[in-house]
Amino acid sequence: MKPMMPQKPEILEMTVEQLRRAVVDGGWPAYRADQLADWVWRKGVTDPAEMSNLPKGMLDKFDLLTAHIANQATSEDGTVKLLIELADGEHHDAEVIPDRQRVPRNGSVILRRE
């Protein structure tokens, strides 16, 4: 049986103060946490390769769980069916059902674990 590896801190679950503390505990200056927060929370960037002002290897100490749409289909009534793949390989189904009575972009969302 393999020993359990300690879990890396999940950036998206941290407050800015928790992120600062984790960055400093990892040996980097506190301002690096602000740079990281800017990439993730202000710019919406989740690809470490795009975070050009952060030291290589810094993000290896953190998890940045993300998801992407593995498959998408739109039916004739406008319902959009999505297969969402999480970073850990788990899949979830989602349906976005438009509400024709309201302003466009409103509707219902149904999520299911596969």
Q: What is the pLDDT of residue 99?
A: 74
Task: Give me the half-sphere count of Cα atoms (radius 13 Å) on the Cβ side of residue 37.
Answer: 16
Kindly list the domain boundaries of the chain, sorted by start residue.
11-61, 67-113
Give the model's pLDDT for residue 35: 94
Structure token pair of residue 66: 């993300």
> Domain 11-61's class?
mainly alpha
Q: What are the residue ranges in the chain where pLDDT is below 50?
A: 1-3
Report which of 94, 60, 63 is spatially closest to residue 80, judged by C-alpha positions. Answer: 94
55 φ, ψ to 5°? -65, 145
